[in-house]
Amino acid sequence: MMERSVQGIALKYKEKIPEEFIRSKDEQPGITTVEGAVLEVPVIDLRNPDEEKILESIVDASQKWGMFQVVNHEIPSEVISKLQQVGREFFELPEEEKEKEVYVKPVEVDHAGTLSLEGYGTKLQREVQGKKGWVDHLFHKIWPPSAVNYHFWPKNPSYREANEEYAKWVQGVGDKLLKWLSLGLGIEEEELKKALGGENLVYLTKINYYPPCPQPEVALGVVAHTDMNSITILVPNDVQGLQAYRDGLWYDVKYIPNALVIHIGDQMEILSNGRYKSVLHRTRVNKDKTRMSWPVFLEPPADLQVGPHPKLVNENNPAKYRTKKYSDYVYCKLNKIPQ
């Protein structure tokens, strides 16, 4: 497995990276990034006593940016620190130890007939021209209990403890965001959560591990994409690397300490019938430092049909998106099949 993981490749290639990691000229961050300009995406204080202001800010950011940061989100800093610590510890294990700890996905991912992204690996989707991202990852579900399969979790008890604790807290943030996003569409506060599966809404966590890269100007960690889920709640580490596409250009996104980064995903754009926009983003890598991030994706159950919310569709505002099973949407997205 050593050379199948990007971590293993990074240990071997100290000056030049293998050809399959070198992006085309129109993707290379060294060429396509607006250097010296940093996007200050909206920062929203969830403890603002003026709840109308919170609602207004979330709606505005979701319509114009598809991305925002939240502070005073009430997840204790020690819960986040512990989540980061156990994630780092897993990725710092020798490769053969990692293989013993957790399910390793096959190198050639076959998405036919399966929705499961869970497990440890490198490849996630059909790569254009066989190119690869400079990242290893671990996926597993953390909520609801009926969806959790510990086969995909590292066996270390402290890993499980930290993730189960984080799962309790992150649901509080998810519920609040879905409430405000519902109210922002002029529908009852529970409507979006209900349309995404209610208590069966799945919280899928991912750890992205981007090792130092000797040629960061030509590689990408994760290629340009929109998230296919409803909303993403992301914990970054202190190494910047997130980029967003705005007005036809790529910009570095500056994130602030102790904030959570929120992305609007495809299912939220669909449910809102286009009023909220999923954000096109990518990640660049660092020459000297390891970068990590901990996104949690709020997903409908696999067999749930998702389409524009019925209360948002009428003669004057017809449905702009097809209604389809979430598993079908995921299959098309990962295999680059038009929706």
**Region 264-279: what's the mean pLDDT?**
98
**Cα–Cα distance between 318 and 321 in angstroms, integer?**
9
- Give catalytic residues, as residue numbers: 206, 225, 227, 281
Return the pLDDT at 127.
Answer: 63
Return the pLDDT at 182.
Answer: 98
**Token duo for residue 122:** 């490198």
**Region 225-250: what's the mean pLDDT?**
95
Residue 114 has pLDDT above 50, yes or no: no
Contact residues for 331 (Cβ-Cβ < 8 A; gap 6+): 111, 112, 115, 337
**Annotated domain spans of the chain:** 6-334
**Cα–Cα distance between 216 and 201 in angstroms, integer?**
37
Instruction: Work out the number of other CB atoms within 10 angstroms of the CB of residue 32.
Output: 17
Residue 141 has pLDDT above 60, yes or no: yes
Contact (CB, 8 A) for 231 and 174: yes
**Region 122-148: what's the mean pLDDT?**
85
Over its C-alpha atoms, the chain yields an Rg (Å, rounded) of 19
Give me the percent of the chain exceeding a pLDDT of 70: 94
Residue 17 has pLDDT above 50, yes or no: yes
91: confidence class by pLDDT, cuts 50, 70, 90 = very high
Higher-confidence residue of 153 and 95: namely 153
330: confidence class by pLDDT, cuts 50, 70, 90 = very high
125: confidence class by pLDDT, cuts 50, 70, 90 = low
Sign of CA pseudo-dihedral 86, 91, 94, 98: positive
**Region 252-281: what's the mean pLDDT?**
96
**Region 309-333: what's the mean pLDDT?**
95
Averaged pLDDT score across all residues of the chain = 92
Contact (CB, 8 A) for 173 and 75: yes
The phi, psi pair for 230, rounded to 5°, reads -90, -65
The number of CA neighbours under 13 Å toward the Cβ of 110 is 3
**Region 248-255: what's the mean pLDDT?**
92
Residue 112 has pLDDT above 60, yes or no: no
Residue 146 has pLDDT above 80, yes or no: yes
Higher-confidence residue of 101 and 165: namely 165
Residue 113 has pLDDT above 70, yes or no: no
Return the pLDDT at 106.
Answer: 66
Return the pLDDT at 336.
Answer: 84
Domain 6-334 of CATH type 2.60.120.330? yes
Return the pLDDT at 104.
Answer: 82
3-class DSSP assignment, residue 185: coil
Max intra-chain CA distance, the chain: 60
260: confidence class by pLDDT, cuts 50, 70, 90 = very high
